[in-house]
Amino acid sequence: MKALVAVKRVIDYNVKVRVKADNSGVDLSNTKMSINPFDEIAVEEAVRLKEAGVIDEIIVASIGPKESQEQIRAALALGADRGVLVQTDAKPYPLQVAKILKNVAEQESTDIILLGKQAIDDDNNQTGQMLAALMGIGQGTFASEVKVEGDKVNVTREVDGGLQTVALSLPAVITTDLRLNEPRYAKLPNIMKAKKKPLDEKTPADFGVEMTSKQEIVKVTPPAERKAGITVASVDELVDKLKNEAKVI
pLDDT in tens, 81-102: 999 999 999 999 999 999 999 9
| Residue 78 confidence (pLDDT) above 90 | yes
SS3 of the chain: CEEEEECCEEECCCCCCCECCCCCCECCCCCCEEECHHHHHHHHHHHHHHHCCCCCEEEEEEEECHHHHHHHHHHHHHCCCEEEEEECCCCCCHHHHHHHHHHHHHHHCCCEEEEECCCCCCCCCCHHHHHHHHHCCEEEEEEEEEEEECCEEEEEEEECCEEEEEEEECCEEEEECHHHCCCCCCCHHHHHHHCCCCEEEECHHHHCCCCCCCCCCCCCCCCCCCCCCCCCCCHHHHHHHHHHCCCCC
Please report whether residue 205 resides in a domain.
Answer: yes
Please report whether residue 240 resides in a domain.
Answer: no
Per-residue pLDDT averaged across 46-54, rounded? 96
Please report whether residue 40 resides in a domain.
Answer: yes
Q: Tell me the residue range of the domain where 169 lies.
A: 2-222
The CATH code of the domain that includes 43 is 3.40.50.620
Please report whether residue 189 resides in a domain.
Answer: yes
Please report whether residue 239 resides in a domain.
Answer: no
**Local confidence band at 62 (pLDDT 50, 70, 90 cut-offs):** very high
Please report whether residue 172 resides in a domain.
Answer: yes
| Residue 45 confidence (pLDDT) above 90 | yes
What's the total number of domains in the chain?
1
For the question of whether the overall pTM of this predicted structure is more than 0.75, the answer is yes
Q: Which carries the bigger pLDDT value, residue 225 or residue 3?
A: 3
Please report whether residue 202 resides in a domain.
Answer: yes
The string of pLDDT tens digits covering residues 125-183 is: 999 999 999 999 999 999 999 999 989 999 999 888 889 999 999 999 999 999 999 99
| Residue 39 confidence (pLDDT) above 90 | yes
The mean of the pLDDT values for the chain is 94
| Residue 24 confidence (pLDDT) above 90 | no
Please report whether residue 235 resides in a domain.
Answer: no
